[in-house]
Structure 1
Amino acid sequence: MKLPLKICIAVLALFLTATGKAQGEALFDQATEAYNQGEYDRAISLYQEILEGGQHSAALYFNLANAHYKNNEIAPSIYYYEKALLLEPGDPEVLNNLAFARNMTLDAISPIPKTDLQRFFEKVVFALTTNQWAYLGVFLVILFVAGYVMFLVFRTPNRKRIALLGSLAALGLGLLSTALSYLQLRAYQQDQPAIIFARELPVRSEPNPESQEAFLLHEGTRVQVEDSLGQWRKIRLADGQIGWAPSSSLRLLKDF
């Protein structure tokens, strides 16, 4: 009885998934048609309905951002362009539209220049994806084992020396590849970007509404969330300024 029940559950899950996908595609087409007709509020409502159904994609976020941009809604347009970039990094069309949306923001923040060492470190760590570094590490460890086996099998000193050196090199590179995978994963986890949604936000020096105002931000500005305390978020700007803002005034980009 257990096996047929599991099969029925699996079939039902597949049916519901296919049905949900079909409904999402139908809503997407309706939203796109509404957008093309200039009905941006209706398009936004339909795109949001798709998101509430648990479906998301770079195209969905991109179209939703375009609809908000047409409505002159700065923060939501930037927010959804940024989310589209998380799913499709480097997409030229998204980058181009994001640049137009950012021109509507009021805050001019100059990022702290990176040192040559920082740029070199990022270039090395992000040369491959986290999974690619991990797969490479596993492959090199397998080469290490194969080299060590050949070291045991070979009889001549030269072959044994070459096999041993090769296996040790593979082991070293495998450990390095695994370390780079970990560093990239850690950098991704520490990177918590958010977009300010409040039209005007006094950022405080402490997580207290009565504390001194550190600086003033406006909607659409991108910040980094470094810490949380109750309903407050510790944020950092690209120029290094740090302060506290209510969590209701911003939205995390990685909150899918």
Structure 2
Amino acid sequence: MIFRLGIILVLLTSLLHGAQDPFSQGNSAYAQGEYRTAIDYYHQALMKEPYPLPNMYFNMGNAWFHLGNIGKSILAYERAQILAPGDTRIEKNLRHVRSLRLDRHERETSALDELRKMYYGFFPPRSQLKLLILLALIALICTICILFIPLKNKTAPLYGLGLALLLTLFFGSTTWYSLYRLRTHQRGVVTVSKASVRPAPQGTSEGFVLHEGSTFRILDQHNHWYRISFSDTHEGWIKKDNFEIIEHLYRTNQ
């Protein structure tokens, strides 16, 4: 009897372990030092999650760092920071990995970028979407009170509706702007040991070389070649095989 109970317990434990979500399995693999396995699980979690969490990219960045891959680590941390701009853990790890790069970056961000980061640190895109839903409900309730409930004084619901609409307009605009920047202000990270940047996509001459982990702004695209700006001082064309786009949050490569 005890032997049978033991078998049932083992089977239940195995089933529960198998039922774990990929993110939890990735954390378990990471804790055991199996970083490549952990990355595979984090990748699966990102493919299943329509709205990825910052911790998914943060943990992936940590795993890539332990494997010595600076480029992939920076890529993951940068993506995590987009989702959680005010997270000090992400900022600390990103600053450390950036210090290991070979290429000198004159300026990572402008003063406007810092202000933007500060604002989205207080109101991340995910929080703004939740707030917009709440404001829409408040506006709906106020509208029902004004139109269908016979109140003697409708000042409160009128003010509530006006405030809800103003806040909806504000947070709706900032949410739209954050999504707009993801599509139009794109950056790349070199994920190979070194990449040649050419003066023209068809040419064979080499303009300059970027090493693993270097980040740049993307200006234009021609087939598999991208025109980039590095540190606001160097421009050229780089092949897509040599980098990944930071803002492609929902398309992660291993």
TM bracket (short chain):
0.5 to 0.7
Partner of residue 124, structure 2? 129
Partner of residue 12, structure 1? none
Partner of residue 64, structure 2? 65
Where do 1:72-87 residues align within 5 Å? 73-82=69-78
Provide the rounded CA distance (Å) in 2 between the counterparts of 1:23 and 1:138.
29
TM-score (norm 1): 0.63
Q: Which has the higher contact order (CA 8 A, sep 6+)?
A: 2
Conserved in 1, the CA contact under 8 Å of 2:220 and 2:227?
A: yes
**Unaligned residue ranges in structure 1 (runs of 5+):** 1-14, 36-42
Provide the rounded CA distance (Å) in 2 between the counterparts of 1:45 and 1:168.
53
- Correspondence 1:167 to 2:161: yes
Equivalent in 195, 216, 237 of residue 244 of structure 1: 237
RMSD of the TM alignment (CA)? 4.2
SS of equivalent residue, structure 1 residue 216: strand
- Correspondence 1:186 to 2:180: yes
**Unaligned residue ranges in structure 2 (runs of 5+):** 1-13, 47-55
Provide the rounded CA distance (Å) in 2 between the counterparts of 1:112 and 1:58.
20
Amino acid at match of 1:68: L
Structure 1 runs (4+) deviating above 6 angstroms are 15-18, 22-28
Amino acid at match of 2:198: R
TM-score (norm 2): 0.63
Provide the rounded CA distance (Å) in 1 between the counterparts of 2:15 and 2:245.
30
Conserved in 1, the CA contact under 8 Å of 2:58 and 2:77?
A: no
Indicate the structure (1 or 2) with the bigger Cα radius of gyration.
Answer: 1
Where do 1:70-219 residues align within 5 Å? 73-82=69-78, 92=88, 95-111=91-107, 114-115=110-111, 123-124=118-119, 127-152=122-147, 159-160=153-154, 163-210=157-204, 213=207, 215-219=208-212
Conserved in 2, the CA contact under 8 Å of 1:58 and 1:88?
A: no
Provide the rounded CA distance (Å) in 2 between the counterparts of 1:218 and 1:244.
15
Residue identity (%): 19
**Judging changes above 3 Å, is the alpha-carbon distance between structure 1 residues 170 and 95 closer, same or farther for their aligned structure 2 residues?**
closer
Aligned residues between the structures: 226
